[in-house]
Amino acid sequence: MKQKKEKSFIHFVYSKARESEILDINNKKKSFIQRNGRYLFACTFTIIAILTLQNGYNKEFLQLGASILAILIGLFLTALVFALDKFYTPNRYRKRDYKIDVSKNEQIKSFEISVDEIAFDNAREKLWQKQSLYYVQKFNVLVGKSVIVGVWALALICLNVMYSDFFGINLADYSFVPISFHSIWIFIKLMMVFAVRFLICYFIIEVFYNTIKIISSMINFMSVRINK
């Protein structure tokens, strides 16, 4: 019998976040554009930015990006505390059916009643409770992933600033030459520079996108909840 492989915390958050992007609040699969639109937009915009900014990002942009990310990370952590305080309620009942005996005219009749039928008197209320549960799960995972992505982006920005001479090269100044040790090192260097530039821009776009999604979905959810 194979043992189930334990997932790391980061892998768990990323897999659950991807699951929330694939499934809607009713746990139904979204369309292709809804599932992958963010990736297509972020990758396209990032590649355009890298090609137009041949010398990389200037210090002013990196300082501004780091300040905004720090503020957003604080906002996300506050949102997590808010979600735990407002949305979480302990489960006081066990998820099973209860048997009730009723005595009438010296005859005993038995009835089986589920907790859901006691708590929610109609199908619409049951659906709302399921949607609320799905939303809270997706909300927490998306906020957690946004914090992780924001930290990765800050780390890459710090790396870029620390080694500004290394990451500030112009990619257009280099061309392919016959294979040698020096050319291999140049190729590795260019790939590192390209990867760091790509990830900084991509992570910033993802954090901004998640911020808009988190705030808009939370306002929508709270509006529906208040109206109920």
Confidence of residue 80 (pLDDT cuts 50, 70, 90): confident
pLDDT for the residue 117: 47
pLDDT reported for residue 122: 60
For residue 83 the two structure tokens come to 């979600």
Band of pLDDT at residue 2, cut at 50, 70 and 90? very low
Average pLDDT value over all residues in the chain: 77
Contact 144, 207 (CB under 8 A): no
Residue 200 has a pLDDT of 94
Residue-wise pLDDT for 165-200, tens only, equals: 888 888 777 666 666 666 788 888 888 999 999 999
Q: Report domain extents, the chain.
A: 9-91+121-227
- For residue 93, pLDDT beyond 50: no
pLDDT at 110 over 70: no
The pLDDT, as a whole number, for residue 4 is: 47
Give CA separation, 169 vs 53, 55, 57, 188, in Å: 11, 5, 10, 13
pLDDT, tens only, 139-166: 888 888 899 999 999 999 999 999 888 8
At 165, list the tokens.
């001479």
